[in-house]
Amino acid sequence: MSSSKVISSKNAPQAIGPYSQAIEVNGMLFISGQIPIHPATGKIEGRNIAEQTEQVLQNIGAILSAAGYSFADVVKSTCLLADMKDFREMNAVYARYYPANAPARAAFAVKELPMNALVEIETIAVK
């Protein structure tokens, strides 16, 4: 039987609900959707989609690192956008984190995100 391990990083925002930042099981890391909360302030500081996407990916990077993973281990991402018009700018920032062998991905526009964020990204990594 497999056992799971809760992963938490102080360098990423703490969960704002009944969920974990990430769960690791059988060499797979499942990172909950991250919104652009700055971990030091607990607030969304980015004013545009590029700044918010950057913060989301920094948060994901902190959680990956806490679990001993890296962006190279990411196999799947799901990107949620408050407005599809922001797709191109979000994608430009996202591409810097995955310069080669980008993971599988889906991107959706949603009606609204927590704390009125412009973007949320969930991630799966495998060792």
H-type alpha helices, 15-86: 49-66
The CA radius of gyration of the chain, in Å to the nearest whole number, is 14
Q: Are 107 and 81 in contact (CB under 8 A)?
A: yes
Q: Specify which residues 23 forms β-bridges with.
A: 6, 30
Number of H helices, E strands in the chain: 2, 8
Taking 90 as the threshold, does the pLDDT of residue 1 lie above it? no
Condensed to tens digits (0 to 9), the pLDDT of residues 60-118 reads 999 999 999 999 999 999 999 999 999 999 999 999 999 999 999 999 999 999 999 99
At residue 16 the predicted structure's pLDDT band, cuts being 50, 70 and 90, is confident
Q: Which residue has the tokens 């591409």?
A: 95
Quickly list H helices, the chain.
49-66, 87-97
Going along the chain from its start, the domains and CATH numbers come out as 4-126 (3.30.1330.40)
Kindly report the average pLDDT of the chain as a whole number. 96
